[in-house]
Amino acid sequence: MNARTAELIERLSREHALSEADYRALIEARDDESAALLAEKAVAVRHEIYGDAVFIRGLIEISNICKNDCLYCGIRRSNANAQRYRLTPEQIIACAAEGHALGFRTFVLQGGEDAWFTDAILCEIIGEIKRRFPDCAVTLSLGERSRDSYKRLFDAGVDRYLLRHETADPDHYARLHPASMSFDNRMRCLYDLRAIGYQVGCGFMVGSPFQTSAALAKDLKFIEDFRPDMCGIGPFIPHHDTPFRDRLAGTLEETLYLLSIIRLIHPPVLLPATTALGTIHPEGREKGLLAGANVVMPNLSPVQVRKQYELYDNKICTGDESAQCRRCLEARVERVGYRVVTDRGDVKKSPSKAQQ
Ligand code: 5AD
Ligand code: FES
Confirm or reject: Cβ of 244 under 6 Å from ligand 1.
no
Q: Cβ of 241: how many Cβ atoms within 10 Å?
A: 17
Q: What are the two backbone dihedrals, phi and then psi, of residue 276, each rounded to the nearest 5 degrees?
A: -65, -35
Q: Three-state DSSP class for 93? A: helix
Nearest atom, ligand 1, residue 313 CA: 10
Q: How far apart are CA 170 and CA 182, in angstroms?
A: 8
With a CB cutoff of 8 Å and minimum separation 6, the contacts of 136 are: 96, 100, 104, 105, 106, 107, 129, 130, 344
Is 76:70 a contact under the CB 8 Å cutoff? yes
Query: Which residue's C-alpha comes closest to atom 6 of ligand 1?
Result: 73
What helix, strand, coil percent values describe the chain, rounded to 5? 45, 15, 40
Q: How far apart are CA 142 and CA 267, in angstroms?
A: 26
Query: Which residue's C-alpha comes closest to atom 7 of ligand 1?
Result: 73
Confirm or reject: Cβ of 325 under 6 Å from ligand 2.
yes
Nearest atom, ligand 2, residue 275 CA: 3
Confirm or reject: Cβ of 317 under 6 Å from ligand 2.
yes
Query: Which residue's C-alpha comes closest to atom 13 of ligand 1?
Result: 164
Nearest atom, ligand 2, residue 320 CA: 4
Q: What are the two backbone dihedrals, phi and then psi, of residue 162, each rounded to the nearest 5 degrees?
A: -105, 125
The mean of the pLDDT values for the chain is 96
Q: How far is the CA of 270 from the centre of ligand 2 (A)?
A: 20
Q: Cβ of 245: how many Cβ atoms within 10 Å?
A: 11
Q: How far is the CA of 184 from the centre of ligand 2 (A)?
A: 36
Query: Which residue's C-alpha comes closest to atom 1 of ligand 2?
Result: 325
Confirm or reject: Cβ of 328 under 6 Å from ligand 2.
yes
Q: How far apart are CA 219 and CA 186, in angstroms?
A: 14
Confirm or reject: Cβ of 329 under 6 Å from ligand 2.
yes
Q: How far apart are CA 247 and CA 213, in angstroms?
A: 17
Q: How far apart are CA 55 and CA 341, in angstroms?
A: 5
Confirm or reject: Cβ of 166 under 6 Å from ligand 1.
yes
Q: What are the two backbone dihedrals, phi and then psi, of residue 257, each rounded to the nearest 5 degrees?
A: -60, -45
Residues of the chain with pLDDT under 50: 351-356
Q: Which amino acid is at 243?
A: P
Q: Which ligand is nearest to the CA of 243?
A: 1
What local confidence, expressed as pLDDT, does residue 350 receive? 53
Q: Which ligand is nearest to the CA of 61?
A: 1
Q: Which ligand is nearest to the CA of 318?
A: 2
Sheet harboring 160-162: ordered strands across?
A: 58-63, 106-111, 137-141, 160-162, 199-206, 230-235
Q: How far is the CA of 236 from the centre of ligand 1 (A)?
A: 7
What local confidence, expressed as pLDDT, does residue 355 receive? 41
Q: Kindly provide the b/e burial profile for residues 163-182, where b requires at least 16 CB atoms within 10 angstroms of the residue's own CB.
A: bbbbbbbeebbeebbeeebe
Query: Which residue's C-alpha comes closest to atom 4 of ligand 2?
Result: 325
Q: How far is the CA of 122 from the centre of ligand 2 (A)?
A: 28
What local confidence, expressed as pLDDT, does residue 169 receive? 98
Confirm or reject: Cβ of 323 under 6 Å from ligand 2.
no
Q: How far apart are CA 269 and CA 295, in angstroms?
A: 10
Q: Which fold has domain 19-341?
A: TIM Barrel (3.20.20)
Q: How far is the CA of 112 from the centre of ligand 1 (A)?
A: 11
